[in-house]
Chains A and B, each alone.
Chain A
Amino acid sequence: MKVWFYRLGSPKWFYEISERWLPWLAWSSLLLIAVGTVWGLLFAPADYQQGNSFRIMYIHVPAAFLAQSCYMMMAVAAVISLVWKMKLCDLVIVAAAPLGAAFTFLALFTGAVWGKPTWGTWWVWDARLTAMLILLFLYFGVIALQHAIQDKVASARATAVLILVGVVNIPIIKYSVDWWNTLHQPASFKLTEKPAMPAEMWLPLLVMVLGFYCFFAAVLFMRTRNEILDRERRTQWVRELVKKVSSR
């Protein structure tokens, strides 16, 4: 059991395993996202109140899910990195942060664009969007800290601490923003407080969510592999790999 756990932390092992998983993840994500997009754009019925603009939901919701899941994953990796000093976790965090920030931005952008036809304004300071904006700030902080510290080991440790502080704060932030929102919201811009959706509407959403998760995993694997190639460049196995790949 212990051997398995520590083997999990070996960058070389991850590199080899990810090599096999990557094509599956990439193709699955392509298929799922393609199917979900076509289904959501073409076949799902238009919403009674919002008309066709609700189709943005098929991007906004998966992006928002991923924005939060990515941070949670980074938090788990941060714990493992601090407690068991597993280098692979440091690499995953470096790879994941910009990706998570990108999905957060996508969620904010699509949320704003969705808001314009629905409530007449590009942006509204409601609880969901504001909490997502703060999450984006948390991501920026992590990325900024990573780049500010030169020494890789110190950088990884500091970033891990920051991520954990952030993750503890997220429920506090959510609660505070919700409370703040109730004070200031006579006009209810309830973003996703919708009545239960019929199956024809949420099935494509499920497909898109799965597709986005697969996509995230595929890109995360690619980025982590790059980090491994970069950081482990002095090891024997990377040198041999580079020779083999570049001679093709």
Chain B
Amino acid sequence: MSMPRSLSTVFMAILRRDLLLAFRRRHDLANPLVFFVIAVSLFPLGVSPEKSFLAEAGAGIVWVAALLATLLSLDGLFRSDFEDGSLEQLVLSPSPLYVIVLAKILVHWLVTGLPLILLSPVLGLMMYLSSDQIVLLALTLLLGTPVLSLVGAIGAALTVGLRVGGVLISLLVLPLYIPVLIFGAGTVNAAASGLSVAGYLALLGAFFMLALVLAPLATAAALRISMTNS
């Protein structure tokens, strides 16, 4: 019988493994990012490139695009492990599934959310946002994208065994994303109107904490359900 592993060993092992796997397919990692940029660019083309419109709508546009880009990347969160059977092993292992899931979500955020945050200033510039707004936008994304990864993982876990992953995840997860969107984009818009942003940021932080504690539990449960069903 193998020795009982400490939580941090399990966490780091999964972290390292998933990062390595992601690195091997690094060209695929760029896809959600490119989608992010294209999606943002669609709004000036489809609505109006006027500064008056873009400066007002810009924060919301970037947030919506970040949301959609994250959604696209969720399908791959558990799928490759499911297909080669390692997901089943992970669910059956004696190590707590909570920790394993948390490590996977962290990797997902590192390769999806973090690049979005880093790219957001450029997009903010293209939306004619002021430098204060750009900083705020990046900050809200910093607080918000982990929530997107955490909550999104629940949707990915619920649908991992199914044939029709993609759009179904969006339907499940988008309603849950709405509060994050409202307060994320709302922060930047509030700052533009001269209101205080401390409350908004505190609420985003609270969402993060809540998701951090509860989402992996739900994800683990969902994984167990998916594994018994498939």
Which residues of A line the B interface, CB within 8 A? 121-125, 130, 133-134, 137, 140-141, 143-144, 147-148, 177, 180, 184
Contact = CB atoms under 8 A, between A and B. Distances in A.
Nearest to B46: A180
Given A125-B126, A141-B34, A147-B27, 9 more contacts: A123-B126, A125-B45, A130-B44, A130-B49, A144-B31, A144-B34, A148-B27, A177-B45, A184-B49
Contacts of B28: 147-148
B interface SS class? helix
Contacts of B27: 143-144, 147-148
Given A122-B125, A180-B45, A184-B48, A137 B38 contact: yes
B184 to A, nearest CB: 23
B117 to A, nearest CB: 19
A184 B125 contact: no
A144 B45 contact: no
Interface string B153-186: 0000000000000000000000000000000000
A144 B30 contact: yes
Contacts of B50: 184
Nearest to A137: B38
Nearest to B37: A137
Nearest to A129: B126
Interface string B19-36: 000000001101100100
B226 interface: no
A148 B30 CA distance: 11
Contacts of A180: 45
Given A123-B125, A123-B126, A148-B28, A137 B49 contact: no
A147 B30 CA distance: 11
B41 interface: yes
B128 interface: yes
B197 to A, nearest CB: 24
Contact of A140 (B34, B44, B126): B34
Interface of B: 27-28, 30-31, 34, 37-38, 41, 44-45, 48-50, 54, 125-126, 128
Contacts of B30: 140, 144
A184 B50 CA distance: 7
13 contacts: A121-B128, A122-B125, A123-B125, A123-B126, A125-B126, A130-B41, A133-B41, A134-B41, A137-B37, A140-B34, A144-B27, A147-B27, A148-B28
Contacts of B41: 130, 133-134, 137
A184 B52 CA distance: 12
B203 to A, nearest CB: 31
Given A144-B27, A147-B28, A148-B28, A125 B49 contact: yes
A147 B54 CA distance: 34
Going nearest first, the 10 A-B pairs with the smallest beta carbon separation are A125-B49, A147-B27, A125-B44, A140-B34, A123-B126, A184-B49, A122-B125, A137-B38, A144-B31, A123-B125
**Max chain A C-beta neighbours (<10 A), residue from B30, B126, B128:** B126
A188 to B, nearest CB: 13
Contacts of A133: 41
Contacts of B34: 137, 140-141, 144
Nearest to B30: A144
Contacts of B54: 125
A222 B28 CA distance: 25
Nearest to B34: A140
Contacts of A140: 30, 34
Nearest to A123: B126
B22 to A, nearest CB: 14
Contacts of A184: 48-50
A22 to B, nearest CB: 28
Nearest to A186: B50
Contacts of B126: 123, 125
B52 to A, nearest CB: 11
A177 B42 CA distance: 12
Nearest to B25: A147
A48 to B, nearest CB: 27
Nearest to A125: B49
